[in-house]
Amino acid sequence: MSDTIETDSIQLNTGSVVIQWKDRHRSIYSPRFLRLRCPCAGCVDEWSGAALLDTSKVPENVEGVDSILVGSYAVQFLWSDAHYTGIYTFKFLRSLCPCEVCSLETGQAEG
């Protein structure tokens, strides 16, 4: 994976957020998985990095309603629970990729 991380497309589907990366990799995320990892100051303490989000208040069936590109490095999602302040950098999103290949590369694989 190169230092520059770029997307070809971001699709918001029922039950998934699909990102096609320029390097032809494809990441499929659960909307709730991404919502629970929102990096905004309301969800994560800016100084300590401690989680502030009460996960019990995020609906199990939360969905991505819309997405807006932020420059050429990030995306901002509007979630069905009306939360919209998180800016997810492409680097951050790629680091969260749940596929087996990425899990092995980052040492996150179970087993």
In a domain, 51, yes or no: yes
In a domain, 29, yes or no: yes
CA dist 11 → 3, 26, 28, 65, 66 (Å)? 23, 11, 10, 10, 9
The pLDDT-based confidence of 28 (bands split at 50, 70, 90) is very high
Does residue 88 register a pLDDT over 50?
yes
pTM over 0.85: yes
In a domain, 111, yes or no: no
In a domain, 76, yes or no: yes
Q: Which domain holds residue 99?
A: 7-106
In a domain, 1, yes or no: no
**CATH number of the domain bearing residue 64:** 3.30.2020.30
> What is the DSSP annotation of 52-110?
---GGGS-TT--EEEEEEETTTEEEEEETTS----EEEHHHHHHT--SHHHHHHHT---
The total domain count for the chain is 1
